[in-house]
Amino acid sequence: MIQMKSLQSARLVLSIVAVSVSSVVALAQSTTTAKTNPPAHAADPPSTTLSVQVKVVNVLATVRDKHGKIVSDLGKDDFTLAEDGRPQSIHYFTRETDLPLTLGLLVDTSMSQRRVLDQERSASHGFLDQMVRADKDKAFIIHFDREVELLQDLTNSHERLEDALGKLNAPQFKQASDQSGQGSDPDDDHRQRGGSGRSRMGGGGTLLYDAIYLASDELMKKQQGRKALIVLSDGVDRGSKESLETAIATAQKGDTAVYSILYKDEEAYSDHRGGFGMGGPWGGGGPMGRHGGGGGHRYPQEQRPDGKKILTRISQETGGRFFEVSKKETVDQIYAQIEEELRNQYSIGYTPDRAGAAEEGYHKIQLVAMKKDLSVQTREGYYGGSTTTSGQ
């Protein structure tokens, strides 16, 4: 009887121990579950995710001393920055010497340029060969006269770029049935293109503004990083649908600097008479299919635009630089300066502090070097509205 009670007591102790062990294991499992999968509380309100977009404005700048030599050893503290007159803090600063580059070459092939095309073509060969690195950079080529035509879309192939340069040629005169004597303007509309067979006949003219607009809006706007257009022209627009202001604004919105090279053949205008023609279409070589010429701009002879002032304004307002070909400065020498500049730039980034002012619209940028006798070349402003913006 005693043995039976002892056995029952032993069984009871074992049962208690088993229950205790089971409780400890269950508690441990419950604790682990609570840590990894916290229970949902029906009474808690649904969570809300707050997405904040930070506007970062990137500015590319070139600095020169009083002798015109590029200065490439400055630091962040050597600059002061303001937007719309309000001081800004520089958050990002680097010296860019090797960033990928997107280049667009816009060549005026109107009749007024026919005697300088060979020099432009030869110099452009060397420039693109030096600037476009197969593993990093891209370039495209557009010609414009009474039409705007994409001869070569974006590529890093030197062979394709050289082939496109070989297609640059001026339109040819055709016999005019008009006996009024107004067909003697080198860019009047009694002309036809020779050689390519891809162009549709439009009016006469030099669609400079349309070329800049189309290159910026349909090609450059889609690219990231450093972007620059090189324009070879006498600067006189005839027949563009877009205005000068629209062309500049579109380049600014595309964060594209425009480098202008004025190459003027005075003899082409020695017998200038008559008005300016209408614009033509975006030609057959390009994918855009947008018509360039519309109502056109006509100017009396005495009001022929000053091409130098026009090109200077385009470059200044987009952060590029104006050059003029002369006996002292050849196209090759100008290209060498542009190459040096594009390889020695400062990249400055900031988040605008506007004190509640609207983000949309145009904002002026004031970037100044604190050291004496240094000049800063950069774009004058940008258009707000996107999450990030970058450019010269």
Note the pLDDT tens digit of each residue in 336-364.
Answer: 999 999 989 999 999 998 877 777 889 99
**Residue entry with tokens 């070989």:** 166
Residue 10 pLDDT > 50? no
Q: Which of 97-101, 112-116, 171-175 has the highest mean pLDDT?
A: 112-116
Distance CA(304)–CA(237), nearest Å, equals: 9
Long-range contacts formed by 329-332: CB under 8 A, 24+ apart:
330/119, 330/123, 331/119, 331/120, 331/123, 331/232, 331/261, 331/263, 332/123, 332/126
Domain boundaries, the chain: 56-96+346-391, 101-342
State mean pLDDT over 250-267.
Answer: 89
How many residues comprise the chain?
A: 392
**Per-residue pLDDT at 104 exceeds 80:** yes
Quick one: average pLDDT of 234-262? 95
Q: How many CB atoms lie within 10 A of CB 57?
A: 24
Give mean pLDDT, residues 210-225. Answer: 94
Contact 202, 256 (CB under 8 A): no
307-318 helix and 244-253 helix, angle to the nearest 10 degrees: 20
The second-level CATH assignment, the architecture, of 101-342 is 3-Layer(aba) Sandwich (3.40)
Q: What is the mean pLDDT of residues 6-18?
A: 44
Beta strands in 17-64 (DSSP E): 56-64
| pLDDT reading at 322 higher than 90 | yes
218 or 358: whose pLDDT is higher?
218
Confidence grade of residue 100 (pLDDT, cut at 50, 70, 90): confident
Which tops the pLDDT comparison, 187 or 205? 205
pLDDT score at 350: 95
